[in-house]
Amino acid sequence: MQTRRGNLHLEIQTSRKNPVGLLRTTFREKSTGKNVHTQHGRITGCSLDQLKMLQLAFRQGVIPADSPEAFKVLSSREFGASHALLDLAKDLGLHRMLYSRSEPWVDSVLAMVIGRIVYQGSKLSLCNQSPNTCLWELCGIEGSPDVEEHCYEPLDRLLQRQTAIQKKLAGKHLKNGCLVLYDITSSYLEGEYEGSKIVEFGYNRDKKKGHKQIVIGLLCNAQGCPVGVEVFKGSTNDATTVNDKIAELRKKYQLERVVFVGDRGMLTAARLDDLRDIAGLNTISALTHHQLADLLRRNVIQPELFDEKNIVEISEPDNDRERYCLCRNPVTAKSETETRKRLLKLSEEGLEKIADYTYSTTVEILGSRVGKLLAKYKMGKFIIWEVVQDRDRKKSKAHVLKWRIDEEKAEREEALDGCYIVRSDVPEEAMDTNEVVAGYKALGGVERAFRSLKTTLLEMRPIFHKKDERIKAHVFMCMLAYYLQWHFVERLRPLFAGDGTGKDRRWTVENVIERLATIRSNRVSANGVEFDQITEADDEQSEILRLLKQVT
């Protein structure tokens, strides 16, 4: 009987769709001189790198674990934050809102939207991040992305789809009879925009004098989730955008009934007159200081009605549909009082210096100096002043300044510090007093969106694009990034709610992103075999990922 001996080894076959490992013994047949294989089993379900590691083990080629050559990390790229945000975007159906079919430009837009949250900066800088992050690879872009092909061209396609995408967002987050929050802001630009039809000088809310700008209008639902954005010319006035925006809600988004919420500058008295007869439309806004003073003058309200704890509601005597909700914020009251006292003190010090001027001067010179001072501190309504001739001096053009603080007017103003009036024409059976005030306060959600878009996490500016269409597409892409960020925050509310306060506070959106970004995709070499290994999430990271997968 002939004994057949051979070494057990693993043979890897890669001709199939998935690699297969064959456990074999090979020996030489003495009579024929040929190699004969005996197969003992198959190994399936492993990657090629895993099979290679097993192959090394059968060859006894594994280096001892304590050897420095046994395990090496060759490179490491960010994985966790990009992967989590991509999963969230797909869970929300954002990729299907962009376009119903999977196309390369959709993948590129998703990469730019997620990149705006994780990596702020220009489109070119995001492309240059590809060696440092798995973002582009996760979104289906192999190799090094090209800024023209993977950023600018997809932006053009995105702008073409803006109306359709916003219809889907509105259909998901708005319904008949709901509150719609609307506000506008400005964003300044730098450089030359000679051929632009939207970059113009206007009222700059960023206090950047000498810069042209664009105006951005944002629509949100009652919870502050964005559903639409529009870019206007830089010289656009707030109130002039309202009519078109309401028409958009009714015609494009098919909302027959809506409660439109805007601030004082948006829903002016003239604008409200235009909107009064539109069926199914109600509004919530706040009165200007001048309108509040008019109600006091007509004795419709009294200062003592403003209460810090209870909201008093009064109807307009000439129009019982017009509801006034009287509110007082103690924090704002304290701030306004302290600010006025500080500015009055500075005004007094400045007036004393002007009055102590010892050299002869004219009425015009003194008046000019007083005017500049009062314009600087804006306290002119509380100061009574005049320039009179100094009879103690012989020169005919010798004049002095006489002034005093109108204490009575200052006290009346202080009594109204922190007071504001929310006005609405929503029927009482639809919304009670507290709901009306809460609806107006919800505008803070739009303000938070603007802060996030412009200055904190998303850093929409500086805007590097020079073409009007690209500027519009960039703003829309940033809005979609905020849409994703908004849902990111909503799902992590339990994490933020359990956080500490003050110096014990730990969690912010930025910190969560940083924690997830420490989950890396590592290129590893072990015993000469290279493979990719994802960092195992710790308990804290696992909890964040669990919350992000919760459907709220």
HEC assignment per residue over 227-283 = EEEEEECCCCCHHHHHHHHHHHHHHCCCCCCEEEECCCCCCCHHHHHHHCCCCCEEE
pLDDT above 90 as % of the chain: 65
CA of residue 108 relative to chain centroid, distance: 20
- What is the Cα–Cα distance from 53 to 21, expressed in whole angstroms? 11
Q: Are residues 143 and 178 in the same domain?
A: no
Per-residue pLDDT, 276: 86
| pLDDT tier, 6 (very low <50, low <70, confident <90, very high otherwise) | low
- Across 215-219, average pLDDT: 96
Per-residue pLDDT, 146: 96
Residue, of 399 and 371, whose pLDDT is higher:
371
Per-residue pLDDT, 62: 57
Residue 390 covered by a domain: yes
Question: In this structure, are residues 224 and 181 in contact, taking their beta carbons and an 8 Å threshold?
Answer: yes
Is pLDDT at 8 greater than 80 in this prediction?
no
- What is the Cα–Cα distance from 145 to 153, expressed in whole angstroms? 12
Residue 462 covered by a domain: yes
Of 111, 137, 161, which residue is a domain's last?
Answer: 161
- What is the Cα–Cα distance from 526 to 431, expressed in whole angstroms? 67
Q: Are residues 11 and 51 in the same domain?
A: yes
Per-residue pLDDT, 19: 87
Q: In terms of residue numbers, what domain contains 477?
A: 163-286+430-483
- Across 325-350, average pLDDT: 94
- Across 539-543, average pLDDT: 94
Q: Which residue has the tokens 């559903």?
A: 227
Q: Are residues 178 and 238 in the same domain?
A: yes
- What is the Cα–Cα distance from 465 to 460, expressed in whole angstroms? 11
Is pLDDT at 382 greater than 70 in this prediction?
yes
Q: Are residues 170 and 279 in the same domain?
A: yes
Residue 526 covered by a domain: no
Residue, of 390 and 39, whose pLDDT is higher:
39
Number of domains observed in the structure of the chain = 4
Of 140, 161, 182, which residue is a domain's last?
Answer: 161
Q: What dihedral angle (degrees, nearest 10) is formed by the CA atoms of 489, 490, 492, 496?
A: 80
Q: Are residues 170 and 276 in the same domain?
A: yes
Residue 365 covered by a domain: yes
Is pLDDT at 392 greater than 70 in this prediction?
no
- What is the Cα–Cα distance from 110 to 102, expressed in whole angstroms? 11
- What is the Cα–Cα distance from 331 to 266, expressed in whole angstroms? 25
Q: Are residues 279 and 262 in the same domain?
A: yes
Per-residue pLDDT, 391: 63
Residue 370 covered by a domain: yes
Per-residue pLDDT, 43: 82
**How confident is the model over 486-505, as pLDDT tens digits?**
999 999 999 999 998 888 89
- Across 173-184, average pLDDT: 95
**How confident is the model over 221-233, as pLDDT tens digits?**
999 999 999 999 9
Taking 3-state DSSP, the helix, strand and coil percentages for the chain, each rounded to the nearest 5, stand at 45, 20, 35
pLDDT above 70 as % of the chain: 94
Residue 522 covered by a domain: no
- What is the Cα–Cα distance from 153 to 87, expressed in whole angstroms? 24
| pLDDT tier, 393 (very low <50, low <70, confident <90, very high otherwise) | low
Q: Are residues 177 and 235 in the same domain?
A: yes
Per-residue pLDDT, 2: 42
> Which residues, 6 or more positions from 158, have their beta carbon under 8 angstroms from its beta carbon?
98, 105, 109, 165, 473, 476, 477
Q: Are residues 149 and 178 in the same domain?
A: no
- What is the Cα–Cα distance from 450 to 461, expressed in whole angstroms? 12
Specify the pTM: 0.83
Q: Are residues 254 and 175 in the same domain?
A: yes
Of 360, 382, 415, which residue is a domain's last?
Answer: 415
Residue 551 covered by a domain: no
Q: Are residues 148 and 176 in the same domain?
A: no
| pLDDT tier, 401 (very low <50, low <70, confident <90, very high otherwise) | confident
Bridge partners (DSSP) of residue 455 are none
Q: Are residues 170 and 281 in the same domain?
A: yes
Is pLDDT at 368 greater than 80 in this prediction?
yes
**How confident is the model over 14-36, as pLDDT tens digits?**
877 788 888 888 777 777 778 77
- Across 133-142, average pLDDT: 95
- Whichever domain contains 245, its CATH number is 3.30.420.10
Is pLDDT at 215 greater than 90 in this prediction?
yes
Instruction: Tell me the backbone φ, ψ of residue 537, rounded to 5 degrees.
Output: -70, 140
| pLDDT tier, 61 (very low <50, low <70, confident <90, very high otherwise) | low
Lowest mean pLDDT among 50-54, 153-157, 499-503: 50-54
Average pLDDT of every residue of the chain:
89
Residue 256 covered by a domain: yes
Q: Are residues 189 and 253 in the same domain?
A: yes
| pLDDT tier, 63 (very low <50, low <70, confident <90, very high otherwise) | low
| pLDDT tier, 92 (very low <50, low <70, confident <90, very high otherwise) | very high
Per-residue pLDDT, 527: 66
Is pLDDT at 64 greater than 70 in this prediction?
no
Is pLDDT at 389 greater than 50 in this prediction?
yes
| pLDDT tier, 55 (very low <50, low <70, confident <90, very high otherwise) | confident
Which tokens belong to 192? 């030359």
